[in-house]
Amino acid sequence: MHPLYPKIKPNLQTYLEFGDHSVYVEESGNPQGIAVLYLHGGPGGGSCSDHRRYFNPEKYRIIIFDQRGCGKSTPHASIRNNSTWDLIDDIEEIREYFAISHWLIAGGSWGTTLAMAYGIKFPERVLGFILRGIFLGSDSEVDWLYGKDGAAAIFPDQYQEFTAPLAHQHYNDVVKAFNKQLFASNEIARIASAKAWTLWETKISALQVDKAELNSSDDTHAAIAMACIENHYFSNKCFFEKDFILKNISKISQLPAFIIHGRYDMVCQLRQAWLVAQQWQNAELQIIPKSGHSGFEVAIIDAICRASDKMADFIISQKNY
């Protein structure tokens, strides 16, 4: 199994000002290498130092940023001027800030959604994609994750804990019910709801959930950003028209892509990756057995690192960066 690359420190850490948002951005690896942008999940999840480690630091110039309102970006948990299209504009500004002409786009979960949407808008800027855990931002996917007939049917015990903060409410729509509490003035209810929202996704994300991930999800600061921003996006249909990505795949299907998806992914269903791969002529779908959704399961790490190695060899052979 290919492990993560060794830990490295950033060459550069900075904040870029986008309207009323201050966005954390970093560069690591080889400044003359192939530029790669890694997009974290959520929305609202924030980046981590291990995201650098998917890529050979001798071959790649690795760019990572915390999307609006999360991680080290400020204002914390802000949903003001925070939409998919705002983030896509931010990505273009980051590319221009680093004077990058073309780059590889990689991401996991919501990061795949953002990666594909960016590519659809700016295909001429993209060398290719590495996508782990496809999410298309559709109502059916949100219903699967939060409704009582989706993942809840497989994890009824965890789902009961997830919806516990809503016990006093009568509701038909879990996302709307949580929205009321996440943006209410009652700080105690807000924190309880944020932790429940974030822990639910973490608990079903891997076949064996790491204790460190559970502890991270229980962190109040991070949980509030994840829950509030994710709920905001899902309440607004991820700011997409119906089937936006599938309808526009043809704009990026000429670009090479590795699509990596755990067979037992309970957060993002495999069928979405299958649908995308059927319409993407230059995509290779890798279904990873005995794996779920997390980007840090051993077999998923192996697949991502091998994909980044193969993509580097291909890009270098094309002299295309």
Q: In this structure, is residue 3 part of a structural domain?
A: no
Shared domain for 163 and 225, answered yes or no, is yes
Q: What is the pLDDT of residues 236-254, one digit of tens each?
A: 999 999 999 999 999 999 9
pLDDT > 70 fraction of the chain, expressed in percent and rounded: 97
Q: In this structure, is residue 7 part of a structural domain?
A: no
Task: Say which of 73, 90, 138, 265 is annotated catalytic.
Answer: 265
What is the Cα–Cα distance from 243 to 122, expressed in whole angstroms? Answer: 19
Q: How confident is the model at residue 211 (pLDDT cuts 50, 70, 90)?
A: low
What is the Cα–Cα distance from 84 to 114, expressed in whole angstroms? Answer: 7
Tokens of 135: 């999410």
Task: Say which of 193, 293, 294, 308 is annotated catalytic.
Answer: 293
89 is catalytic: no
Shared domain for 195 and 90, answered yes or no, is no
pLDDT > 90 fraction of the chain, expressed in percent and rounded: 92
Shared domain for 103 and 75, answered yes or no, is yes
Q: Note the pLDDT of residue 44.
A: 97
Q: In this structure, is residue 4 part of a structural domain?
A: no
Please, are residues 126 and 105 in contact by the beta-carbon 8 Å criterion? yes
Q: How confident is the model at residue 216 (pLDDT cuts 50, 70, 90)?
A: low
Which of 201, 236, 271 is where one domain is finished?
236
Task: Say which of 47, 73, 109, 308 is annotated catalytic.
Answer: 109
Q: What is the pLDDT of residues 261-298, one digit of tens each?
A: 999 999 999 999 999 999 999 999 999 999 999 999 99
Show the domain range for 197. Answer: 140-236
Shared domain for 230 and 151, answered yes or no, is yes
Shared domain for 122 and 24, answered yes or no, is yes
Q: In this structure, is residue 173 part of a structural domain?
A: yes
109 is catalytic: yes
Which of 216, 236, 256 is where one domain is finished?
236
Shared domain for 197 and 246, answered yes or no, is no
Q: Is the pLDDT of residue 213 over 70?
A: no
Shared domain for 124 and 145, answered yes or no, is no
Shared domain for 144 and 134, answered yes or no, is no
Mean pLDDT, range 101-115, rounded to an integer: 98
Please, are residues 65 and 92 in contact by the beta-carbon 8 Å criterion? no
Q: What is the pLDDT of residues 15-30, one digit of tens each?
A: 999 999 999 999 999 9
> What total number of domains does the chain contain?
2
Does an H or E element contain 285, and which?
strand 283-288
Residue type, 308: S
Q: In this structure, is residue 1 part of a structural domain?
A: no
Shared domain for 42 and 127, answered yes or no, is yes
The secondary structure of residue 152, as a DSSP letter, is: G
Q: How confident is the model at residue 215 (pLDDT cuts 50, 70, 90)?
A: low
Q: Note the pLDDT of residue 212.
A: 64
Which of 184, 206, 236 is where one domain is finished?
236
Computed from CA positions of residues 200, 204, 209, 212, in that sequence, does the dihedral angle turn out positive or negative?
negative
40 is catalytic: no
Computed from CA positions of residues 238, 242, 248, 252, in that sequence, does the dihedral angle turn out positive or negative?
positive
Q: What is the pLDDT of residues 59-103, one digit of tens each?
A: 999 999 999 999 999 999 999 999 999 999 999 999 999 999 999
Shared domain for 159 and 279, answered yes or no, is no
Shared domain for 248 and 113, answered yes or no, is yes
C-alpha distances in Å from residue 213, one per residue of 27, 66, 144, 202, 297: 25, 18, 22, 7, 12
In CATH, what number is assigned to the domain containing residue 22? 3.40.50.1820
Q: In this structure, is residue 6 part of a structural domain?
A: no
Q: In this structure, is residue 159 part of a structural domain?
A: yes
Shared domain for 162 and 208, answered yes or no, is yes
Strand order in 60-65's β-sheet?
A: 12-18, 21-29, 60-65, 34-39, 103-108, 126-132, 257-262, 283-288
